[in-house]
Amino acid sequence: MKTISTENSHGGTQGVYVGRSEACDCDMTFAVFLPPQAKARKLPVLWYLSGLTCTHANVMEKGEYRRLAAELGMIIVCPDTSPRGEAVPDEPDNWQFGKGAGFYVDATEPPFAQNYRMYSYIVDELPKLIEAEFPVDMDRQGIFGHSMGGHGAITIALKNPGRFGSCSAFAPISHPSVSGWSKPAFRKYLGADEARWRAYDACSLIEDGHRFPEFLVDQGTADSFLEDGLRPEELRQACETAGISLRLRMQEGYGHSYLFISTFMEDHLRWHARRLGD
């Protein structure tokens, strides 16, 4: 691991780091906020997964999480959204696929299977590095994210319920197997057999028996991606059928941007803090 930068903030440290990823076969950048309490003891860790076109920097610069994370004593880890580098295959004119659009899946189709293994990176590889380098209590992990990252957070929690004590999302892509902006990406990453897509689709995972105790989801009513891309009502229906507690808050007049996310960031941090304890 190499340190790119560190800055003091709210008594803690916001750092940016890079490490070689075997899963993605490239260097991967990530951000870690250490609150002041990290100088004395291990702390709960909260993973934030970003959305399409984003890097680690978007939430770090616009998410407004540090003040409360310092107060609550929570470490925040912000990974990148895809592999990077000249050798990584991409579609530069397509913001819904390739670099910045890893969808938190392990691709199976060439040429993308070589690098686009974001599920393994987030679930297996990066946690080992974070545990080795930072004072995290791996028995107290939460996960949340926005849009594509909300999809990633919910699906990862459903597939790893013993690891995470909490999960929430801002405007998640709830049913990517049928959403217009994710179906083409799933086909290129995972192949034409849509049965294989179910392993990375929140609604399908729930239908197939995966469970997580509860979710908090905030969704803006003025989000231009609401009907085709995000489909929160389908997540509500899947959770109701399965008996999963879902607190879906439709926030009147809010859109899809970080103005929306930063408005409700404090609610989400407190949600996770109550469930992860200290």
CATH number at residue 6: 3.40.50.1820
Cis peptide, bond prior to residue 92, ω within 30 of zero: no
Name the residues annotated as catalytic. Answer: 147, 223, 256
Range(s) of the domain holding residue 39: 2-276
Torsion angles phi and psi, residue 107, rounded to 5: -65, 145
Integer Cα distance of 162 and 110 in angstroms: 32
Tally of domains in the chain:
1
pTM of the full predicted structure? Answer: 0.97
CA distance 213 to 105: 23
Q: Could you tell me if 114 and 21 are in contact, meaning their C-beta atoms sit under 8 angstroms apart?
A: no
pLDDT in tens, the chain (278 residues): 999 999 999 999 999 999 999 999 999 999 999 999 999 999 999 999 999 999 999 999 999 999 999 999 999 999 999 999 999 999 999 999 999 999 999 999 999 999 999 999 999 999 999 999 999 999 999 999 999 999 999 999 999 999 999 999 999 999 999 998 899 999 999 999 999 999 999 999 999 999 999 999 999 999 999 988 999 999 999 999 999 999 999 999 999 999 999 999 999 999 999 999 86
Contact 38, 69 (CB under 8 A): no
Give the three-state DSSP class for 74. coil
Q: Which of 119, 215, 204 is nearest to 167 (CA)?
A: 215
Pairing state of beta strands 214-220 and 245-251? parallel
